[in-house]
Structure 1
Amino acid sequence: MSTLDPRGTSSGAGARIVGTGVGDGPGPDVMASATLDGTKVVTSDGEDVGKISDIMLDVRGGRIAYAVLSEGGFLGMGSTLHAIPWSALTLDTDAKRFRVDITAQQLKDDPGFDKDHWPAMADVTWGTQVHQYYNRSPYWATTRELDPGIDSDI
């Protein structure tokens, strides 16, 4: 069962949003994924560990599965990539960055992958291990509450 955050939005399997950054147009509740590419990521202990390089969608399930963090390297060369469960992130609209609920050392201890050797992200075993590492329930195991006014048989 999901809960409501202070603004009344569901806080189930999505990224949390904090801050006062509400402007004209879309965002921060609904945004183009390209808007988030290049957004800095800071760990729970305050270290800047890289930037979002990709947002991975579960096409069949219609959900965001992971944000891919690019850590280190120069101009994308030699960087380590990390798949971070979307629910492990908090978008800080005031600081215009994501916070990840893990320490910098824990992130560095995660072996990650490189741009030429991506894991099979649809593999349940791999996905379960990633979610366990970030102490999160797998996104595919989280159910959405349906609006009682919507016919779920559609």
Structure 2
Amino acid sequence: MGSTTTNETNSLIASDRVEGTTVRRPNGDGIGRIERLMIEKTSGQVVYAVMSFGGFLGIGEGYYTIPWSTLRFSPELDAYVLDITEEQLRSAPQASPEGSDPSYDRQWEEHVHRYFNATPYWSI
């Protein structure tokens, strides 16, 4: 996907430019990439990023649903930043091995938000 800053305004970005973007730790180490965005139907708000992590050439990759509020964009790194250790990420709630969407029922969403210590989007 390349640079996320090219041909974008200061505050808006096309969703297809976010998908494929690298996710890094605050120190700049790459930890994964955004595979897809999950959008709340009624509000249109982006609420999750599904991130791939690990594996080699797609083999053994894990898919993790990350609350959007836990990511921040770093222009310096041209990447989204997630402050999490590798161990914390490996223990995080996973999407299915194929990366397809989990059920996203309220109980599962509450579990994800608790794990990442994030305020649920429906209570903001």
Deviation at 1:101, TM superposition (A): 2.8
Larger radius of gyration: 1
Compare 23-32 and 64-73 and name the one that shifted more: 23-32
Q: In the alignment, which of 98, 113, 123 is matched to residue 115 of structure 1?
A: 98
User: Which AA in structure 2 matches 1:77?
Assistant: I
User: Which AA in structure 2 matches 1:56?
Assistant: M
Distance 1:28 1:136 in 2: 25
Alpha-carbon distance change, 134 to 27 in structure 1, aligned in 2, over 3 angstroms = farther
> Quick check: 1:48 aligned with 2:30?
yes
Identity percentage of aligned residues? 34
Indicate conservation of the 8 Å contact 2:28/2:77, yes or no. no
SS in 1 for 2:20: coil
Deviation at 1:79, TM superposition (A): 1.2
Distance 1:109 1:77 in 2: 19
Q: In the alignment, which of 48, 68, 73 is matched to residue 86 of structure 1?
A: 68
Deviation at 1:51, TM superposition (A): 0.6
Compare 87-96 and 44-53 and name the one that shifted more: 44-53
TM-score (norm 1): 0.68
Q: Which runs of 4+ in 1 moved over 6 A?
A: none
User: Which AA in structure 1 matches 2:103?
Assistant: A
Alpha-carbon distance change, 37 to 132 in structure 1, aligned in 2, over 3 angstroms = same
Equivalent pairs, count: 119
Alpha-carbon distance change, 78 to 35 in structure 1, aligned in 2, over 3 angstroms = same
Q: In the alignment, which of 71, 86, 91 is matched to residue 104 of structure 1?
A: 86
2:11 matched to which residue of 1?
29
Deviation at 1:92, TM superposition (A): 0.4
Greater relative contact order: 1 or 2 (C-alpha under 8 angstroms, separation 6 or more)?
1
TM-score (norm 2): 0.83
Distance 1:110 1:47 in 2: 19
